[in-house]
Amino acid sequence: MILMYIFETYLDIRQHRALKLTTLPKPLLGVISDEKFKRSRDYSLDKSYFHFVHEAVTILMDTTILYYKVLPWFWKKSGEVVTHVGLNAENEIIHTLAFLAGAMVWSQITDLPFSLYSTFAIEARHGFNKQTIWLFIRDMVKGILLSMILGPPIVAAIIYIVQIGGPYLAIYLWGFMFVLALLMMTIYPIIIAPLFNTFTPLPEGVLREKIEKLAASLKFPLKKLFVVDGSTRSSHSNAYMYGFFKNKRIVLYDTLIQQCSNEDEIVSVIAHELGHWKLNHTVYSFVAVQLLMFLQFGGYTLVRNSKDLFESFGFEDQPIIIGLIIFQHTIIPLQHLLSFCLNLVSRAFEFQADAFAKNLGYAPQLRAALVKLQEENLSAMNTDPWYSAYHYSHPPLVERLQALEDPDSKKED
């Protein structure tokens, strides 16, 4: 864990040096205004300094928790609390829920100062934050309540599956998580997301007509087209799709509509997103994630009964949830390697989706939209190649613009 922190801090230092450069990359000269570049540089440096502090505090806390065996102490104390209130601490599900409740309180307390500073200092200083403190608190409370509603049945189900799983445990765990993923993909946009934002149908007009025409030309089964009030919390912009089979929906952030100068720029962004659908990128990504999850559960089944592993972390018994936590700690380097590989694939998908929009005739509009979104979101203009290769799921703007201009590069398969 410490070695990963040292390696990633080295990459952060390289990126910080790139952010401090006072000149734009050559391909962006004359494309990005000096005023936007200065604001982007200031914003990126602010976030970079904050990131250094946040990561240092996080590794210090995590190392302290492991070194001083806080986890076994907290597991024991949570059992005592369960007994004190008259419940059966021998019931592993009840004991686990008490342990996780305490962990959630600790997480909220330790994360809150960083969330407040990020939102009301950095984001506000650079003109992005639109939240009031009351809206921030309301969202936080809603998140906690959702965790209290959704968490216990999921945790109870996982513990029960492990208790009865036998030799096919990995398959049962994966099957449960697969069904849960499908369920969450279904209910999140319909039930959970509206708890935090307002979704309204995109009004009739030129923009709606062009999007519907594009979707029809690609045989995309568009059922609903929404605008979400992202501007109530932030000035950052986005667009996304969701839905299964013949029931697809497209959501535009109101900030995206405000920031793009004409309808064709917005449509070019939608063309890019439809490229992901047409080229089956979302399916490939989902399958890859499911495969990796199955492999992780397979690894967990190999060590879940390892008494030595639990004892090395200070545990006398072998709680199921603790086994999962310990296993996640032990495979951190492998997880980072897999994340890097997934980012490589994601960046290739982004180039292919750009090429898809280009082949539909939207290259000039997409280029203008990418530049506009880069400017309005004050995204980093200078990036270190090592840092971006390791962290970025999307290619830097320079590479995307070059690919759009090159008639032979990055064509979709």
Any idea which residues carry the catalytic annotation?
273, 354
Among the listed residues 410, 330, 364, the one whose alpha carbon sits nearest the alpha carbon of residue 1 = 330
Integer angstrom CA distances of residue 96 from 86, 155, 322: 16, 8, 9
CA distance 55 to 5: 8
Q: Does the annotation list 16 as a binding residue?
A: no
Beta strand spans in 189-276 (E): 199-201, 222-228, 239-242, 248-253
245 three-state secondary structure: coil
Q: Tell the residue number behind the tokens 């604001």, with chain if given.
A: 39
- Specify the long-range contacts of residues 186-194, CB closer than 8 Å, at least 24 apart: 186/244, 189/242, 189/243, 189/249, 189/251, 192/146, 193/228
Exposure pattern of 219-234 as b/e (b: 16+ CB <10 Å)? ebebeebebbebeebb
Q: Does the annotation list 95 as a binding residue?
A: no
Q: Does the annotation list 350 as a binding residue?
A: yes
What one-letter code names the amino acid at 251?
A: V
Strand partners, 226: 201, 251
Among the listed residues 48, 191, 39, 193, the one whose alpha carbon sits nearest the alpha carbon of residue 125 = 39
Environment class of 218 (CB within 10 Å of its CB; exposed 0-12, middle 13-18, buried 19+): middle
Neighbouring residues of 209: CB distance < 8 A, sequence distance ≥ 6 = none
The answer to whether 263 and 202 have CB atoms below 8 angstroms apart is no
Among the listed residues 51, 136, 148, the one whose alpha carbon sits nearest the alpha carbon of residue 100 = 148
Q: Give binding residues as ranges.
A: 272, 276, 350
Q: Give binding residues for Zn(2+) as ranges.
A: 272, 276, 350
